[in-house]
Structure 1
């Protein structure tokens, strides 16, 4: 029969290092998770939309791009740029609480008039588009 003391010594010699290394491998992940949780609670919620300065700069850049398209620019590029401009207008409207109807107005003259109305409303709110 094996003495109990030898069995305990064997368990300590075999299991203790394994358990120690397992804990050492888990400590960095646990500390990272705790740090991320603390940072998240300290910083508060993330903003719902990008900073208004970035939106205004993007609006001016895309507006300038639309105005400076040379003749012969593919229709797909023009349409994609207009859609990007509309998306930026919607974001800017949400940021400064300006009502818009770009989601409900189809392509054509009505949409152009709505863009002009929104640009003027954004100017009145302090955002220079052009």
Structure 2
């Protein structure tokens, strides 16, 4: 089994990618936005796995339900002490 990354590193990466998502300039390509969102989701999954939080990100297509699941997971991770 591969060694897990430290949760502190995952949290730092989550915050960095979240800032990137929040600060895209007008005109940023859709490809960059989608890639950043996918990177954020992958980091959320890593954090959930590390803190044993169940998630459904891999089951939901892009859209409102997936956005709601992101918010739910961010809140669950905060409840477990992870600063997102």
Same fold (TM over 0.5): yes
**Alignment gaps of 5+ in structure 1:** 1-45
- Match of residue 72 from structure 1: 27
- Partners of 2:57 and 2:83 in 1: how far apart? 19
Higher RCO by CA contacts (8 Å cutoff, separation 6 or greater): 2
More helix by share: 1
How well do the aligned residues superpose, as a CA RMSD in angstroms? 1.1
Q: Whose Rg is larger?
A: 1
Displacement of 1:111 in angstroms is: 0.5
What secondary structure does 1:103 align onto?
helix
How does the TM-score come out when normalised to structure 1? Answer: 0.63
Q: CA deviation at 1:49?
A: 1.2
- Write the distance in 2 (CA, Å) between the matches of 1:124 and 1:49: 21
User: After TM superposition, where is structure 1 displaced by more than 6 Å over at least 4 residues in a row?
Assistant: none
Could you state the TM-score of these two structures normalised by the residue count of structure 2? Answer: 0.96
Counterpart secondary structure, 1:127? coil
- Report the number of matched residues: 84
In the alignment, structure 2 segments of 5+ residues that lack a partner are: none
Provide the rounded CA distance (Å) in 1 between the counterparts of 2:82 and 2:59. Answer: 23
